[in-house]
Each structure stands twice: as structure tokens, then as C-alpha cells.
């Protein structure tokens, strides 16, 4: 993936010398790139005058950050107890088959990243699938097909 370093520099500029805003800066970069490119971490280290090891430590500590390119759409399948007993594991397996990826992986076209999570905090609505922050409740195989088709057709339009 090609990274627009000029764009990264424009994101970093307002944060220069403001070490206490490291997490906010990393969030802004990830929002732009869908992950934290190594080149961006080096730029952040220099701009904030922080050791690269410290920037890397923060970037790897928080699960919300990714050092690997992610898809345009993030799919999270809840595998907590309530969702698991209602079919969450079957949904995760179906997504693996349909997308050809395992949890933690991204499709080759960078459209989808699949993650399995332990609990999304809405047990009464299970099984739950979250795509791009939108919660889908009481998901079954047919509903999952419909949801996926909606996002795949959006991808084909753009």
C-alpha cells in the first residue's frame, strides 16, 4: 500500500511538540490510513520528539490500533457466552468461508477485516455482528448474507 506522507505530515503538524497528545495523533492517522504505517510512526516519533520505541509501545498496547493494513469495513463477531450459545461461532465460521479470511485477517481487496471479540455488551440482542460500528442484532445466516451483500454492493459501486 502506498502511503501519502504529505497527508501524514499534515495530520501531524498541529501535534508537533505536544507529546501528551500521542494517542489522539495516532487515532487521527489510523482514521486516515485504516492502520498505522511504520513510516507514520517514524514521522510521529520525530515530530513529537519521542523515542520510536515509546510510540511503538503505545501503538501496540491499545487493541484499537493496528500495525497491519485493515479493510475499509471492519466486521466484529461477538463470541461471548450469550452470543456463542445463540450461534455466534457459526456466524464467524460463515464469514470465514464467505470472505476467505480468518479472524484478524483482511481480504486481499482490502474491503473487509474480520475480528472475533469476547463481548460487545449487548447480550440480550445476540448473536451480534458489528460492521463499521453499526450493531446488527439477532443475526442468523440469512440476515448475515443480506448484510454482507449490502456492503459488497457498496464496494462494487465505488
Whether residue 147 contacts residue 136, with contact meaning beta carbons closer than 8 Å, is answered with: yes
Among the listed residues 88, 93, 142, 72, the one whose alpha carbon sits nearest the alpha carbon of residue 120: 88
- For residue range 10-69, list pLDDT tens digits in order: 999 999 988 999 999 999 999 999 899 999 999 999 999 999 999 999 999 988 899 999
Q: Which pTM value belongs to this model?
A: 0.79
Query: In CATH, which superfamily holds the domain spanning 73-157?
Result: Glutaredoxin (3.40.30.10)
Q: In the chain, where are the structural domains located?
A: 5-61, 73-157
In DSSP terms, which residues pair with 135 in a beta bridge?
A: 130
CA distance linking residue 75 with residue 93, whole number of Å: 13
The Cα–Cα gap between 158 and 153 comes to 9
Do residues 115 and 104 make contact, with C-beta atoms less than 8 angstroms apart?
yes
pLDDT digits (tens, 9 = 90+) for 57-111: 999 998 889 999 999 999 999 999 999 999 999 999 999 999 999 999 999 999 9
pLDDT of residue 155: 65
Amino acid at each position: 500500500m502506498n502511503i501519502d506522507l504529505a497527508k501524514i505530515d499534515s495530520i501531524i503538524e498541529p501535534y508537533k511538540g505536544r507529546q501528551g497528545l500521542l494517542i489522539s495523533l495516532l487515532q487521527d492517522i489510523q482514521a486516515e490510513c485504516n492502520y498505522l504505517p511504520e513510516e507514520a510512526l517514524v514521522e510521529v516519533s520525530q515530530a513529537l520528539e519521542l523515542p520510536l520505541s515509546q510510540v511503538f509501545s503505545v501503538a501496540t498496547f491499545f487493541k484499537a490500533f493496528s500495525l497491519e493494513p485493515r479493510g475499509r469495513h471492519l466486521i466484529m463477531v461477538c463470541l461471548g457466552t450469550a452470543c456463542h450459545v445463540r450461534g455466534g461461532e457459526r456466524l464467524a465460521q460463515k464469514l470465514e468461508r464467505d470472505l476467505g479470511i480468518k479472524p484478524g485477517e483482511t481480504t486481499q481487496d482490502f474491503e473487509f477485516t474480520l475480528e472475533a471479540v469476547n463481548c460487545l455488551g449487548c447480550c440480550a440482542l445476540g448473536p451480534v455482528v458489528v460492521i463499521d460500528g453499526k450493531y446488527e442484532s439477532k443475526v442468523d445466516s440469512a440476515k448475515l448474507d443480506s448484510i454482507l451483500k449490502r456492503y459488497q454492493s457498496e464496494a462494487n459501486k465505488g
